[in-house]
């Protein structure tokens, strides 16, 4: 994963420095390498394995050496959120200036691009997705990493461009964020009960669900087990935006 240099606001909020210091087994330790190492570890082994000691071993340094770059476990968790949003930013930079087709509305196209970038990055780092909820609940807005705040700013700027006032933009921002993160969470929900079972019903464990109480869920489970993909993300987002543009009289 390529990683842009994290911004100073995020460094200050995490209480960390950015100077070159200790050497790891693969060269000089930097904040970028610490966050990249943490993300690689979590991608491979899960969030529960992340600790300063485990990450230090991964990077070939003592755990104490990491405190120059992350003030503690919470700062490291915030760093993971920062890392994925930096990746979203990089992905969006690749499509800046991409021409729209005739009939496209620029602000809606921009929102779709942001949604799609979040979808692609977060599905590549599913272990980090729970942090997008838990850390946002615990970290006040102004203390979130700059990469996160820039993502919020991007969405709100597009909504103001569309003609929504502050109150309207805030309402659509909440709905947009809830839809994108909620959709991604549903895509990542565990569905398979027995991966070695060839029969679809037993593979999903439908025999464990009482038919008299869960008839509709048993019916829907096979369809729910197939990801909705980018098309489902875009379709739902269009429906959401249509609802708000009708209400607010936007074009």
Q: Whole-angstrom Cα distance, residue 119 to residue 112?
A: 10
DSSP letter for 27, please: E
Q: What is the pLDDT of residue 94?
A: 86
> What does the alpha-carbon distance between residue 75 and residue 69 come to, in Å, rounded to a whole number?
9
Please, what's the largest Cα pairwise distance for the chain?
64
pTM of model > 0.85: no
**What backbone phi and psi angles, to 5 degrees, belong to 183?**
-65, -45
Q: Which residues pair with 186 in a beta bridge?
A: none
The alpha carbon of 23 is separated from its chain's Cα centroid by a whole number of angstroms, namely: 31
pLDDT digit string (tens) for 220-249?
A: 999 999 999 999 999 999 999 999 998 665
Q: What is the pLDDT of residue 9?
A: 47
Tell me which of 2.40.40.20, 1.20.1740.10, 1.10.357.10, 3.60.20.10 is the CATH number of domain 8-248.
1.10.357.10
- Which two three-digit tokens encode residue 20? 């070159």
Ramachandran quadrant class, 206 (left: phi over 0; alpha: psi -120 to 50; beta: rest): alpha
Mean pLDDT of the chain: 87
Residue spans of the chain under pLDDT 50: 1-21, 251
Helix, strand and coil content of the chain, in percent to the nearest 5, comes to 70, 0, 30
């Amino acid at each position: 994963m390529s990683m842009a240099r994290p911004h100073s606001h995020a460094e200050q909020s995490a209480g960390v420095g950015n100077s070159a210091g200790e050497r790891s087994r693969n060269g000089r330790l930097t904040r970028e390498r610490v966050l990249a190492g943490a993300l690689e570890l979590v991608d491979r082994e899960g969030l529960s394995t992340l600790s300063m000691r485990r990450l230090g071993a991964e990077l070939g340094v003592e755990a104490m050496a990491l405190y120059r770059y992350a003030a503690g476990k919470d700062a490291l968790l915030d760093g993971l959120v920062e890392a994925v949003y930096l990746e979203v930013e990089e992905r969006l930079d690749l499509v800046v200036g991409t021409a729209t087709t005739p009939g496209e509305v620029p602000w809606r196209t921009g929102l779709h691009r942001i949604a799609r970038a979040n979808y692609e990055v977060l599905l590549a780092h599913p272990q980090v997705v729970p942090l997008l909820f838990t850390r946002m609940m615990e970290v006040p807005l102004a203390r979130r990493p700059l990469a996160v705040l820039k993502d919020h700013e991007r969405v709100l700027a597009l909504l103001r461009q569309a003609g929504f006032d502050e109150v309207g933009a805030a309402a659509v921002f909440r709905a947009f964020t809830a839809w994108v993160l909620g959709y991604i969470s549903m895509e990542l929900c565990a569905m398979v009960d027995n991966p070695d079972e060839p029969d679809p019903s037993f593979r999903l464990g439908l025999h464990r669900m009482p038919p008299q109480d869960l008839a509709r869920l048993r019916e829907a489970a096979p369809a729910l087990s197939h990801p909705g993909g980018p098309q489902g993300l875009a379709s739902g987002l269009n429906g959401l935006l249509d609802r708000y543009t009708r209400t607010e009289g936007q074009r």
